[in-house]
Structure 1
Amino acid sequence: MAEAAAAALVKVIFEKLADEAFKKYARSKNIHSELKQLGSTLSQIQALLNDASDKEITDESVRLWLNSLQHLAYDIDDVLDDVATEAMHRELTPESEASTSMVRKLIPTCCTKFSLSHRLSPKLDSITTRLRYLEKQKADLGLIVKEEKPKNTSRRNETSLLESNVVGREGEKKRLLNQLLVGESSKEKFSILPIVGLGGVGKTTLARIFYNDTRVKDHFELMAWVCVSDEFDFKDVNQLQIALREQFKDKRFLLVLDDVWNQNYDDWEILVRPFHSGAAGSRVIMTTHQQDLLKKIGFNHVDNLESLSHEDALSLLALHALDVDNFDSHETLKPQAKGIVKKCGALPLALKAIGRLLRTKTEGEEWDDVLKSEIWDLENADAIVPALRLSYHDLSVDLKRLFAYCSLFPKDFMFDKEELILLWIAEGYLNESTADKSPERLGQEYFEKLLSRSFFQPAPNGESFFVMHDLMNDLAAFVAGEYFLRFENQTEMAMEALAKYRHMSFMRERYVGFQKFEAFQRARSLRTLLAVYVGVEQSWNTLYISNKILVDLLPQLPLLRVLSLRRFNISEVPDAICSLNHLRYLNLSRTNISKLPENVGNLYNLQTLIVFGCESLSTLPM
């Protein structure tokens, strides 16, 4: 899976090397010959990537070779970005150039070029040596120049199907709908309707059907949907409970608690306290993988939601692959379809993902390739659903990289499409040169493709957000490899291990102290530092971040491109942030800042500055 990221980075490197303005500046600084030699060696390696893509699935040596190439490609891109940033600085500060022109006339030309070439030449020499070493390994690894398989351009409409197109589950739908609308009399004002089953079996889909049913909407006065993930924090919920108690008071409500992982009964007692203020006949739908908590609540027996029947599974595959209800009009594909259903274990999520993959494949041989793929039989197939890996493997290089980036976000995270696209742009994933359209437009198209292939799903509560299924989130973390880190409680992680990461996110907590991040002073190659949050943001909660992180740590991360400090109780932006010359994205929304540093204009690469909700902000630098 490392091939995708390496190939995408290599493509970006060649685009930078081909830029005329870049080449002109490199010649003026006397480093063009080193860059030309680097490009020549890299092109020889690039020719091997198609073969490496096929072999890394089963060959660990090839996977490690690709990892080394990706680390090296990051280093090359950092050097080129350094050159481009300095070129931009020279171009945008003509007054500085003019003021030193008289001095320069007194200095030999070779010495005026000395600074940049002296600083970069050792790096370029080291990079070229490492590249040659990787190129020489091709014989030992059996890598050859191999043409990429042409993609079938005959594809069906890739729009996402509505949840109304759910196949099967008639018995479950009828039984649960009856319990929702009629149910049994109870001493409690609310009752629990559990939906239990394995990941990907369709629990959330089933809950969403009820939530959007007009009969259900007419029956309940108040409806809400909450993801109760393993990240859910039960501390400091007093104010939230007071607000909920008022909302639920004397109303018949329906609440969906989706993806309940926490099996602690005490936490459950805290969670449900406000529910007792509602009217009789209120319902709580709980989707979960486990039955432990349900047994503690008093459910002695719960029916698990099983995989689909063979016929329903075939029908679901036909719907997503061919836009038909069955294979009667596609008899030649039926044998392969039956084999694929068996490989997927009749799991709905897996069938949807494979079905969306097969929309791009119209020939029986292509369906055979999917059925006989080695990915089904990999040793760690139990950890990552093979059907999802196959679906990922079929993506373009660009889409693979965009999907892997989403590994930075925790399970049940609510994705804002526009904000995610801005992050992709800042990371350099969407280049205008790839199409005659803006990066924003390209990002929209890429997101829609991932959505159509079930890598994203619309948020269950009907808001304009998107979510990623837990199993897809696991897949993203798996393919992201050793470049992306969702930093949680890895306080024991060695400094050497941290140095390899390029992108990092951390959970926004009540107090974020410096000690937790002290080791990151060694992570000098870090490009991304994102503060993220799961669930409903509680406006009354004040979140704090150590000033030492802002003042002492950030200057030690000179390659940062993306920095989000959203919602922290920050009253002043430290000048140190203005030394981050590579910064493209800075999110200070909902902080307490009153002004921005005057020299924020020196961030020549800055593309996105978000100060939404900064109510104390009164002026901007001129």
Structure 2
Amino acid sequence: MIFLFSQFFDVMAWVYVSPKFDIIRITKEISEFVVENHRNGFDGISKIQEMLQKELVGKTMFLVLDDVWNVQQNEWEMLFLPLRAAKLVRVLVTSRNDAVAQAPHIVSPHRLQVLPEHECLKLLYNCAFGVEGMTAKEWSLDIGRQIIKKCGGLPLAVKCIGRVLYCNKDQYSWWEILSSELWESDELDPIFCALKVSYYHLHPKLRESLLFCSLFPKGSQLRKISIIYMWMAHGFLQPKKGKRAEDVGEEYLVELQMRYFIVPCTKNSFRLHNVIHDLVRSLSMDKIHTIMDEQSSHIPDKIQHLYIRRGNNICQSFRPDKRLRTLFNAALRPHGSFVDLNDISLVRVLGLIGSNVLALAHSPLKHLRYLGITEFNDKMLPESICLLCHLQTLEITHCYHLRYLPTNIANLVNLRYPCGN
């Protein structure tokens, strides 16, 4: 939708807000759409706003704030303060809360209604058969009407089920999908029922790959190539019929997008649809955990993938289980409090911020396949990285002072993807 307005505005931006209205994060993400060659060098809200205000002078802007849950009037005022430097700004807010939608006090909110039955049926047929085959299957009319009733008039549910039917075009398969017990699992939420049916019709490896993407905070913009490297590190992608694992990963992304589980952001990035994120996390069986603030620091015992938002410290009593395979943004220590390197010796994917990289000097991480380093301020990476004998991917981002690679980098004989920006 946002591309429809490109001819009328100099700047267009889309930001996912989430239940927590983080004014600094939201302002930073807006600035990334405005400032060319953006660098996350500023942490203070005043510096970010000053930079944003300077870049917007005389420009027109269209801004989407998606999925706003809770916001105070003073927060709106602070967010919009640097935007007033622009010549013209139009803001579209999406929310499931009428009070939030009315907060800016500019235009009355527009409530989206469910699709009528004939529109749902048209959408279902379009997804299941394509435009040319919309009237090709007479037997599908009665079954299709029963299916869309279960979808509750919700377009995302209809589209996801339509893609399942696209891969199962015979009459028996349609009856089997209609009769699935999964429709009865969440009686009050038809969209979750429809998405469960669609999710469980994915190939097991594809389900596993989608599940991993839900590790990152809701609304996160994920780089396609980075996710493929992480999938490879976990063994989700197996070469087949002369295709490389990377090619299989690309096929996974295409299929997940075709089934509406992921939403493209740019040519090279995507995000999980918000409802999909909720569904997948509900099915993760405590294998995946994301810490967003100090109040959410309890970590399940059998965790396999752990993400800790920057600036948060996990509880000191946490000792990872040997099943832990992914760890992002942790406060690493060679010995003692927080995460002990000896406790994560079987981790395959590790993401580190800043000086935490230096803890790798005591590294026993011989099973590590993917290492992501961001905002490391030294001129050279620690030599101990060269001991990571199975490392396949070394991804370096926002390390603006880095000038040299370790002397023995050639020892990383399995390294396939040294990359950075």
Query: TM-score, normalised on structure 2?
Result: 0.84
Stretches (4+) displaced over 6 A: none
Equivalent residue for 2:14? Answer: 225
Alignment correspondent of 2:30? none
Alignment partner, residue 212 of structure 1: 3
Q: Given the alignment, which residue of 296, 307, 323 partners 1:525?
A: 323
Compare the two structures and name the one with the higher strand fraction.
Answer: 2
Q: Name the amino acid aligned to 1:525.
A: R
Evaluate the alpha carbon distance shift between residue 249 and residue 325 of structure 1 in structure 2; reply closer, same or farther with a 3 A threshold: farther
Look up the match of 2:122.
315
Q: Are the aligned partners of 2:19 and 2:68 in contact in 1 as well (CA < 8 Å)?
A: yes
What corresponds to 1:55 in structure 2? none
CA distance in 2, matches of 1:603, 1:221: 47
Partner of 1:452: 258
Structural mapping, 1:151-550, within 5 Å: 208=1, 211-213=2-4, 216-235=5-24, 236-280=44-88, 282-298=89-105, 301-324=108-131, 327-379=134-186, 382=189, 385-432=192-239, 434-459=240-265, 462=266, 464-489=268-293, 498-509=300-311, 512-513=312-313, 516-531=314-329, 546=331, 548=333
In 2, Cα distance between equivalents of 1:577 and 1:600: 10
Matched residues, percent identical?
Answer: 30
Q: Is the CA contact 1:327–1:334 (under 8 Å) kept in the aligned structure 2?
A: no
The count of corresponding residues between Structure 1 and Structure 2 is 386
Preserved contact between residue 499 and residue 525 of structure 1 (Cα < 8 Å): no
2:344 matched to 1:557?
yes
Q: What is the CA-CA distance between 1:261 and the residue it aligns to?
A: 2.3
> Residue 415 of structure 1: CA displacement?
1.4
Aligned residue identity for 2:350: L
How big is the shift at 1:220? 2.4
Preserved CA contact (<8 Å) 1:529 1:560 = yes
Unaligned runs of 5+ in 2: 25-43, 409-421
* Higher RCO (CA < 8 A, seq sep 6+): 1
CA positional deviation for 1:299: 6.0
The separation in 2 between residues aligned to 1:390 and 1:344, in whole angstroms, is 11
Let me know the Cα RMSD of the aligned residues: 2.6
> What CA distance in whole angstroms lies between the structure 1 residues aligned with 2:215 and 2:381?
28
Bigger mean CA deviation after superposition, 258-267 or 313-322: 258-267
CA spacing shift, 1:253–1:601, aligned 2, 3 Å: closer
Q: CA deviation at 1:371?
A: 1.2
SS at match of 1:367: helix
Measured in 1, the distance between the counterparts of 2:322 and 2:238 equals 25
Distance change (3 Å), C-alpha of 1:598 and 1:250:
closer
Which of 389, 398, 409 matches 1:604? 389
Cα separation, 1, equivalents of 2:374 and 2:104: 41
1:619 equivalent in alignment to 2:410 = no
1:527 aligned partner, one-letter code: R
Displacement after TM superposition at 1:551 (Å): 7.4
CA 1:326–1:250: 2 relative to 1, 3 Å = same
- Residue 570 of structure 1 corresponds to 355
Matched with 2:379 is: 594
- Bigger radius of gyration, 1 or 2? 1
Task: Please list, as runs of the form range in 1=range in 2, the aligned pairs for 1:20-35 lying within 5 A after superposition.
Answer: none
Summarize deviations over 1:106-155 as a string: whole Å, max 9, x none.
xxxxxxxxxxxxxxxxxxxxxxxxxxxxxxxxxxxxxxxxxxxxxxxxxx
Instruction: Supply the distance in 1 between the matched residues of 2:373 and 2:335 (Cα, whole angstroms).
Output: 13
Q: Is the 8 A contact 2:349 2:369 kept in 1?
A: yes
Greater fraction helix = 1
Q: Return closer, same or farther for 1:480/1:362 CA change in 2, 3 Å cut-off.
A: same
Alignment gaps of 5+ in structure 1: 1-207, 532-544
Partner SS for 2:283 = helix
Per the TM alignment, residue 525 of structure 1 is displaced from its structure 2 partner at its CA by 3.0
CA contact (8 A) 2:65 2:93 kept: yes
Question: Which residue identity lines up with residue 251 of structure 1 in the other structure?
Answer: K
What is aligned with 2:412? none
CA distance 1:304–1:609, change in 2 (3 Å)? same
Instruction: Give, in whole Å, the separation in 1 of the partners of 2:297 and 2:222.
Output: 29
CA displacement 1:392-429 (0-9 Å, x = unmatched): 01111111111111120111110111000000111121
Aligned 8 A contact 1:258 1:287 in 2: yes
Which secondary structure state, in structure 1, belongs to the residue aligned with residue 62 of structure 2? strand
- CA shift in 2, pair 1:477/1:369, >3 Å: same
CA contact (8 A) 1:340 1:371 kept: yes
